């Protein structure tokens, strides 16, 4: 899943994971867990997240490499938040050896739409789940009942900084992957069901081509 903050990667990744029965691997969730711990790495991660910065390639790569050693990824997985740099993409290419096709879904959303989405986004203070965007007046999490709060990195100034960081460091991934036959550009500025349909069509196209090559 490629795309700027606020594009809807997390929501769509969760839906795809449920549809295909594979785990959603979110480096953001893993890093926020680390940030909550009073370890040197956790404190460094928390500082960078609060400032809207990315963690180093080395930290992100090691987190994903360790996660992909677990048994639950044997039938596939959805990556949300990784890779974010060309260096991470190159490392992922090595990790994918022998695992099958890597489908790259690039979500495209206008910048001002992203700012509005992020500034109004809320998460559960207990379980960390994103609030349901279709219920903007809700004050409690639909999953566990915890209080809904704004993420520390979703203030408007931090949001604009995050988008700037994305432009500088992450957009080169589009150029890196664009020539791949399994790269798909998805219009993220439409209702979630339409976005999901486009993603499933792209994945189905790739899986169909893979089956044909084996027969």
- Residue-level pLDDT at 214: 53
Rounded Cα–Cα distance for residues 91 and 79 (Å): 14
Give the 3-state DSSP-derived string for 50-108, with helices as H, strands as E and coil as C: HCCCCCCHHHHHHHHHHHCCCHHHCCCCEEECCCCCHHHHHHHHHHCCCCCCCCEEEEE
The answer to whether residue 75 is catalytic is no
Write down the catalytic residue from 121, 140, 160, 169: 121
Tens digits of residue pLDDT in 97-130: 988 899 999 999 998 898 888 777 788 888 877 7
| DSSP-assigned states of every residue in 116-133 | HHHHH--EETTT-PBP-T
Per the structure, the count of domains in the chain is 1
Report DSSP letters for 152-191, one per residue: GGGSHHHHHHHHHHHHHHTTHHHHHHTTSTTEEEEE-SS-
For the segment 76-81, the average pLDDT, to the nearest whole number, is: 92
pLDDT category of residue 29 using cuts at 50, 70 and 90: confident
What percent of the chain clears pLDDT 70, i.e. is strictly above it? Answer: 89
According to DSSP, the β-strands at 123-124 and 148-149 are antiparallel
- Within a domain: residue 38? yes
Residue 204 within a domain: no
Please answer whether residues 81 and 11 qualify as being in contact, where contact means their C-beta atoms are separated by less than 8 angstroms: no
- Catalytic residue check, 121: yes
User: Which pTM does this prediction carry?
Assistant: 0.75
* C-alpha distance from residue 198 to each of 37, 96, 186, 188, 192 (Å): 38, 24, 7, 10, 10
Asked, for residue 195, whether it belongs to a domain, the answer is: no
Q: For this structure, is 99 an active site residue? A: no
pLDDT at residue number 153: 62
- Domain assignment present for residue 197? The answer is no
> How much is the pLDDT for 163?
86
Establish whether 65 is a catalytic residue.
no
Active site residue 214: no
Print the domain residue range for 112.
9-188
DSSP string, 6-66: TSSHHHHHHHHHHHHT--EEEHHHHHHHHHTS-SHHHHHHHHHHHTTPPPPHHHHHHHHHH
The better pLDDT of the pair 201, 163 is held by: 201
Please report the pLDDT score of residue 212 as a whole number: 54
Rounded CA-CA distance 4/55 in Å is 16
In a domain, 199, yes or no: no
- Report pLDDT digits (tens) over 134-176: 677 788 998 899 999 877 666 677 788 888 888 887 788 999 9
Kindly report the average pLDDT of the chain as a whole number. Answer: 85
Given the residues 15, 46, 122, 162, select the one marked as catalytic.
162
CA distance 170 to 116: 21
Answer for the pair 149, 156: CB distance below 8 angstroms, yes or no. Answer: no
Catalytic residue among 15, 84, 117, 122: 84
Give the CATH number for residue 101.
Answer: 3.40.50.300
Of 72, 44, 70, 73, nearest to 59 by C-alpha is 44
């Amino acid at each position: 899943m490629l795309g700027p903050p606020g594009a809807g990667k997390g929501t769509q990744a969760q839906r795809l994971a449920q549809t295909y029965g594979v785990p959603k691997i979110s480096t953001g969730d893993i890093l926020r867990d680390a940030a909550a711990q009073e370890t040197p790495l956790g404190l460094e991660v928390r500082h960078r997240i609060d400032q809207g910065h990315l963690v180093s390639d080395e930290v992100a790569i090691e987190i994903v490499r360790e996660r992909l050693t677990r048994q639950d990824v044997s039938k596939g997985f959805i990556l949300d938040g990784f890779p974010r740099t060309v260096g991470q993409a190159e490392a992922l290419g090595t990790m994918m050896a022998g695992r099958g096709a890597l489908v790259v879904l690039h979500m495209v959303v206008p910048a001002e739409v992203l700012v509005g989405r992020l500034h109004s986004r809320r998460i559960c203070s207990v379980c960390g789940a994103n609030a349901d965007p279709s219920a903007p007046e809700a004050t409690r999490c639909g999953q566990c009942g915890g209080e809904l709060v704004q993420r520390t990195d979703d203030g408007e100034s931090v949001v604009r900084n995050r988008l700037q960081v994305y432009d500088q460091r992450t957009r080169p991934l589009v150029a890196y992957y664009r020539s791949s036959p399994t790269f798909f550009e998805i219009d993220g500025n439409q209702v979630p069901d339409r976005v999901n349909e486009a993603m499933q069509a792209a994945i189905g196209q790739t899986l169909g081509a893979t089956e044909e090559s084996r027969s």
